[in-house]
Every structure is written in structure tokens, then in C-alpha cells.
């Protein structure tokens, strides 16, 4: 019998009591696992498959082939020649030439310098192992039997590669100067675009938040316009402005817009609203007491700017810089339209996959592209985790004071930025309405007759609207419910952490990489999900997954504002969690739900990189039609389709605003009490 302590104030240790899981807890954990499995199947497994593909090498193993050559009478003397030995003797193929892709072929006649297809000489060829393969015309031979051929048949023999695993693809990539140069080009373009964009966006946001200039609302609307168009559109506008027959090409003083100059200008256009939003949020929050202290210490405005304003907005500036860097280095549409011979990583993936059908090298470039994207994302998250609150309970919100000289300066500056944004959109609309630039400038709607153009016709536009609507409805439902499960579940800390990690991963994966990984994963006949390949379903899944992270963060932010007492009260009243979710959580968080839906709709309309590998003839999209029409030389119709995307997104925004006002008026009345 164990001895009990004689101290009356001490009780023996009791057993650990684990709370019993309720039916609601089991339901929520099960639902979280289901959505986590969705992210595994649509993100983790495809990326793993793509990574495996990058290490999949194909090589011509000459030691696996043997030949016999007859005399001119067709008699064989029994001498066996190894393809490996023949190559060593005459040096027909180098080691680099023997390294190839999955579709590689090697003509055996190169091993016989005196070969002539008119010769009466006969040939025999066989595989020395079960892994050897060669083609006679279109007939595959994969056994070890001798195949006898005459000279005319022998010239049609092609050796096929053997699959193995290794770093050979990466070695070939980094030893190819043209491909390796794309890394330098991508980094250089991204850094320059980031510096220019963040600088311009900072002063624009500063003008709207720290001055008393007029027309702030108008300038905010103008600043957000580039979000509504695909990234290819500014490239088309720049071609009309500064191309070989551009309106104002003289302003470049002989330089070409096709290359780094065009990519940087276009990148500044389509990344500007992202940088502006982040920096504007950082500048909108400030403590007026700091500025009062600076005035009392007789600090100059310039010194106050560097010691108070910039440090207060530093986290926003850093976050904006990494967001812009990530957007530029992973963008495909703009460099494809206006990059010319200036290669970047995203375009290299497209060229390797679509142009050369070299999927293994496309996977290698994808891995290379993912590295800077993940690093930028990781640093951005680390910086955000160190951010501290700038406003305390005693803070006084900063209110700018009128300064006629400064206000006029900022008004002029914002007008110039607004002219840049509106000007590019106006040029695209002008290009879409003229008959034939620059020879016939009369107005016409013939460029909107998409059914006569290469690219998919009006069906592509309808498909894009279907994709956007399905993405908005399905994506919002999945994302918001998943965020609710993570934020409001009891216990299950490990599972919630894993789910959160999966939810954050899409933000770091470029669209081109995600699309290519879907080819490797879903196009495999052994995959039970192979049936969705080439359908609208895979486009919806890819788009929802690609834009999952921002939507998830928006939902989590809204849910964090709801006290967990709601769940406690619901449990005490013995009400099901799903009833609480439907009747309380969704109505309270409806503003965030509507924001997520319009975010997914707009991005589904404009996305190019994530879906460029996945569409079929029946599921072509408007953004892909812009790319295809531009490739075919139909630049004006491409501009017309791009403007249709812009007007559709603008209309969706207006409808969203009107609907939100009506719905929120009924569901959010409690906020004004």
C-alpha cells in the first residue's frame, strides 16, 4: 500500500482528465480534415509531383544497344558491335547530346559514317536489356530479339532514352548561358520595378493620407483600376505608345520598348495598387502626439518625416516591397507580350513546356522560380510578425492640416500618376476601336468580332465569366468555412497549425508553377482525379487554390473580431455549432464574405499564369484569348478583349457595391446602435 503524505494540505496527484469530444467538436475537426485534404490534393501533392519531375532525367544509354552489319551480299559474319563502343571510336555524340528529355530521339545512322540508304548492306539491332527501347519508324521495339533491317529501313531507327533520377537537369540548366541568364534578368527587373513602384506608391499614399488635397476619392478609384485588368494589357498599351509604330516612340530617344524598359513600366502599372493599398493602410494609422512633440522640439518637416513618418510606416513599406517583388518575378503575361528577346524565368517555363515540350526542364525552371518567391514571402511574414501596434488607448489620431503649397504639389503629383494609369487604359480602348493602326484611324467595332479571331471567340469571354462566378461562390464557401474551423475549433492545436500552414502556402507559389504542377499530377492516367483534367472543374480548383491565402487571411481577420463567448453561449443553450455559424457568424462577417467573393471573381477574370497550361479548346478563357490573339498578331482585338475584362470587373465591382449596401443595411444595422 502506497504511503500517503502526512501533510494535510497536500492531496495525492489524480489522473489527467481529458475533456470528452462533443458531436460538434467531431464535426468541426472532421470538416477541417476534409478541407486540409483538399489542399493536400490540390497543392501539396501536385507540387511534390513537379519537384520529383525536376529530378527525373532521361539519357541515351548506348551500352544497351548492339548491332550486326552484313556484307554487300547480305551475309552476317557474327561480329557484334556495341553502340557505346562505336560512339567512343568516332565521337558521334557528346555527353550533353546523350542527355535529353522524355521525348528524346537519337538516329543510329550517325554511328555509321559510311551509311547510305541505297546500300545493299543489311543491319541487325537489338536491346541488351529489358529497359532498352528503340523505334523503327513508329513501331516501338522493347524486347531483346534481333531485328533485321535493310538500309532504307535502318535509317528510320531512332533510339529512345532511359529514365533515371539525379541532378542532371539542374546541371544542364545552369550550364546553359541563355537559361541561366534568365535568373539575373528576373531578379534585376524585379528589384528595379520594386524600387520604382514602392517609391511612387508611397508618395501617392502619403498625398491621400497626410495632405488636404482635393479629389482624394477619385484618385483612390483610379489607383485601384489596374487590379481589374490582366497584366498583359499594359504591355499592349505600351506597344501602341512606344512600339515600332508607336504614337510617342520618340520619347524613348531610340531605345526599344521591347525588353526591360517595357517590362519595368508595365510592372509598375499592374503592381501599383497592391503597393498603394499596403502603404496607405500603414500611413492611415498614426499618433498625432508624435507630431506635436516634433513641433514642440522645433524639428523641421523634413526631419520629422524621416524620424516619425518613415519609421511608423516601415513595416508597410517592407511588406509592399516584397509583395511587388513577388508579383513581378512570378508574372508571365507582361514579359510574354513586351519582353522581346529579354528572357525571364516565367517565360522560360512557358517556352520549355509549350515551345519545346521539355516538361522536365520546365519543372527545373519552376523550382528555380519558387526559391526567390518563397524567400520573399517568408521574409515578409517574418517582418509582419514583428510589427507592433502604432496606436494605444491614449493615442490621438493624426489629422493633416491644410498647407496650400504642399497640397497643390501633391495634387499635381497625383494627377500625373492618375494620367499614367488612365492613359494606358485609354490607349487600349482607343486601339480596340480603330480599324487598322496606324493607317486607318476611323472608328469601328470590328475588333470586337472575336469569333473571327484566333483565341476562342466570345466563348472564351463567357467561359471566363463562368469561371469567375464558380470561383467566387465555391471559393468563398470553402475558404470562409475553413477559416472558421481554424479560428473557432476547440483544442486540436496541432491539426489547426498544419491547416494554417497549408492555407498560407499558396501565397508563395507562382501561378506558372502551380499550373505546371497540375499537368504532372492530374494528367497522370494513374490518378483517380484524372477525369477533371481539361474541364472547367480543374480551372476552378486551380484558381481557388492559387488565391486561397489572401482570402483565408481576410476571413480570419474578420473572425478574430468575434468574441469566443458566442460559442460558449451557444454551447450553454445546447445549440448546434452549424446553427450558430449560419445564423450569427456568417451575418456578422458578411462584409468580409462579400470582399472575398469579389476578390476571387476579379482575379479569376484576370489570371493568366495559373491557367495557361490547363485550358482545353472547350474551356478557353478571355485572358488566355488576349495572349493567343497577341501571339497571332491580332493586337487590336487583344486590346478589345482586355478592355472587356476591365469593364466586366468594373461592373462586378459596382454590382458588388450596390448589393453590399442593400444586404449590409439589413444584416449590419446592429453596428450603428
- Residue 397: per-residue pLDDT: 57
Is the pTM here over 0.85, yes or no?
no
Q: Under the phi-then-psi rule, with left for phi > 0, alpha for psi from -120 to 50, and beta for the rest, what region is 254?
A: left
- Residue 210: per-residue pLDDT: 80
**Residues 6+ positions from 441 with CB-CB distance below 8 Å:** 434, 435
- Residue 126: per-residue pLDDT: 92
178-390+404-443 matches 23-47+460-623 in CATH topology: yes
**Neighbour tally for 94: CB within 10 Å:** 9
Cell 479548346 -> residue:
617
173-196: pLDDT as tens digits: 888 787 778 888 999 999 999 999
Choose among 303, 275, 281: nearest CA to 199: 275
410/413 Cα distance (integer angstroms) = 5
Question: Residue ranges per domain, the chain?
Answer: 23-47+460-623, 60-163, 178-390+404-443
**Neighbour tally for 423: CB within 10 Å:** 13
Are 606 and 230 spatial neighbours (Cβ–Cβ below 8 Å)? yes
- Residue 467: per-residue pLDDT: 94
Task: Tell me the C-alpha to C-alpha distance, in Å, between residue 265 and each of 203, 268, 269.
Answer: 18, 5, 6
Choose among 645, 637, 626, 464: nearest CA to 539: 464
Counting every residue written for the chain, the total comes to 673
Homologous superfamily (CATH) of 178-390+404-443 is MetI-like (1.10.3720.10)
535-594: pLDDT as tens digits: 999 999 999 999 998 888 888 877 776 656 555 666 665 666 677 777 777 777 788 888
Identify the segments of the chain with pLDDT beneath 50: 1-3, 389-393, 395
The highest-level CATH class for domain 23-47+460-623 is mainly alpha
Does 566 sit behind a cis peptide bond, omega within 30 degrees of 0 on the bond before it? no
Are 340 and 189 spatial neighbours (Cβ–Cβ below 8 Å)? no
Q: Decide: helix, strand or coil at residue 508.
A: helix
466/460 Cα distance (integer angstroms) = 10
- Residue 469: per-residue pLDDT: 95
337/86 Cα distance (integer angstroms) = 47
Q: Please give the full DSSP string across 39-57, using - where no structure is assigned.
A: HIIIIIHHHHHHHHHHTEE
Amino acid at each position: 500500500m502506497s504511503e500517503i503524505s502526512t501533510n494535510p494540505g497536500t492531496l495525492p496527484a489524480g489522473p489527467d482528465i481529458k475533456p470528452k469530444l462533443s458531436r460538434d467538436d467531431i464535426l468541426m475537426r472532421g470538416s477541417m480534415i476534409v478541407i486540409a485534404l483538399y489542399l493536400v490534393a490540390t497543392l501539396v501533392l501536385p507540387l511534390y509531383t513537379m519537384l520529383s519531375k525536376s529530378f527525373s532525367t532521361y539519357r541515351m544509354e548506348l551500352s544497351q544497344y548492339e548491332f550486326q552489319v552484313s556484307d554487300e551480299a547480305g551475309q552476317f559474319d557474327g561480329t557484334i558491335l556495341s553502340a557505346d563502343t562505336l560512339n567512343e571510336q568516332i565521337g558521334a555524340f557528346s555527353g550533353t547530346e546523350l542527355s535529353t528529355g522524355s521525348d528524346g530521339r537519337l538516329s543510329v545512322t550517325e554511328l555509321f559514317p559510311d551509311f547510305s540508304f541505297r546500300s545493299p548492306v543489311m543491319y541487325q539491332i537489338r536491346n541488351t536489356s529489358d529497359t532498352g527501347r528503340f523505334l523503327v519508324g513508329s513501331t516501338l521495339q522493347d524486347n531483346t530479339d534481333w531485328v533485321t533491317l535493310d538500309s532504307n529501313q535502318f535509317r528510320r531507327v531512332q533510339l529512345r532514352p532511359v529514365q533515371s533520377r539525379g541532378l542532371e537537369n539542374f546541371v544542364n540548366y545552369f550550364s546553359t548561358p541563355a537559361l541561366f541568364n534568365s535568373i539575373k534578368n528576373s531578379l534585376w527587373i524585379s528589384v528595379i520595378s520594386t524600387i520604382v513602384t514602392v517609391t511612387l506608391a508611397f508618395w501617392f499614399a502619403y498625398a491621400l493620407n497626410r495632405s488636404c488635397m482635393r479629389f482624394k476619392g477619385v484618385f483612390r478609384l483610379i489607383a485601384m483600376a489596374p487590379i481589374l485588368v490582366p497584366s498583359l494589357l499594359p504591355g499592349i498599351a505600351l506597344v501602341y505608345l512606344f512600339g515600332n509604330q508607336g504614337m510617342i516612340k520618340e520619347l524613348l530617344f531610340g531605345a526599344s520598348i521591347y525588353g526591360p524598359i517595357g517590362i519595368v513600366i508595365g510592372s509598375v502599372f499592374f503592381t501599383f495598387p497592391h503597393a498603394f493599398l499596403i502603404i496607405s493602410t500603414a500611413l492611415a494609422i498614426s499618433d498625432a502626439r508624435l507630431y506635436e512633440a516634433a513641433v514642440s522640439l522645433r524639428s523641421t518637416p523634413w526631419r520629422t518625416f524621416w524620424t516619425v513618418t518613415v519609421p511608423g510606416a516601415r513595416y508597410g513599406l517592407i511588406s509592399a516591397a516584397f509583395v511587388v517583388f513577388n508579383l513581378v518575378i512570378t508574372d508571365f503575361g507582361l514579359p510574354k507580350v513586351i519582353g522581346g528577346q529579354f528572357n525571364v524565368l516565367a517565360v522560360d517555363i512557358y517556352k520549355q513546356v509549350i515551345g519545346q515540350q521539355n516538361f522536365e526542364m520546365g519543372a527545373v525552371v519552376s523550382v528555380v522560380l519558387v526559391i526567390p518567391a518563397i524567400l520573399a514571402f517568408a521574409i515578409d511574414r517574418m517582418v509582419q510578425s514583428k510589427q507592433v501596434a502604432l496606436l494605444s488607448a491614449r493615442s490621438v489620431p493624426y489629422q493633416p492640416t491644410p498647407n496650400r503649397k504642399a497640397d497643390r504639389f501633391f495634387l499635381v503629383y497625383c494627377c500625373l500618376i492618375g494620367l499614367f494609369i488612365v492613359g494606358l487604359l485609354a490607349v487600349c480602348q482607343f486601339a480596340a476601336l480603330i480599324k487598322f493602326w496606324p493607317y486607318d484611324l476611323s472608328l469601328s467595332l470590328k475588333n470586337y468580332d472575336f469569333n473571327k479571331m484566333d483565341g476562342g471567340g466570345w466563348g472564351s469571354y463567357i467561359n471566363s465569366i463562368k469561371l469567375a462566378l464558380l470561383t467566387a461562390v465555391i471559393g468563398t464557401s470553402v475558404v470562409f468555412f475553413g477559416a472558421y474551423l481554424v479560428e473557432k475549433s476547440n483544442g486540436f492545436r496541432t491539426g489547426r497549425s498544419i491547416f494554417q500552414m497549408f492555407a498560407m502556402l499558396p501565397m508563395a507559389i507562382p501561378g506558372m508553377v502551380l499550373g505546371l504542377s497540375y499537368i504532372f499530377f492530374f494528367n497522370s492516367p494513374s490518378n483517380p482525379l484524372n477525369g477533371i483534367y481539361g474541364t472547367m472543374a480543374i480551372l476552378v480548383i486551380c484558381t481557388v487554390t492559387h488565391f486561397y491565402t489572401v482570402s483565408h487571411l481576410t476571413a480570419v481577420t474578420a473572425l478574430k473580431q468575434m468574441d469566443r463567448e458566442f460559442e460558449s453561449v451557444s454551447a450553454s443553450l445546447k445549440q448546434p455549432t452549424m446553427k450558430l455559424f449560419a445564423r450569427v457568424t456568417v451575418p456578422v462577417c458578411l462584409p468580409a464574405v462579400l470582399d472575398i467573393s469579389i476578390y476571387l471573381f476579379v482575379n479569376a477574370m484576370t489570371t493568366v499564369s495559373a491557367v495557361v497550361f490547363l485550358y482545353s479548346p472547350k474551356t478557353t478563357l478571355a485572358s488566355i484569348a488576349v495572349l493567343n490573339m497577341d501571339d497571332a498578331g491580332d493586337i487590336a482585338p487583344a486590346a478589345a478583349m482586355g478592355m472587356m475584362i476591365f469593364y466586366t470587373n468594373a461592373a462586378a465591382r459596382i454590382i458588388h457595391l450596390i448589393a453590399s449596401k442593400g444586404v449590409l443595411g439589413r444584416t449590419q444595422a446592429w453596428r450603428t446602435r
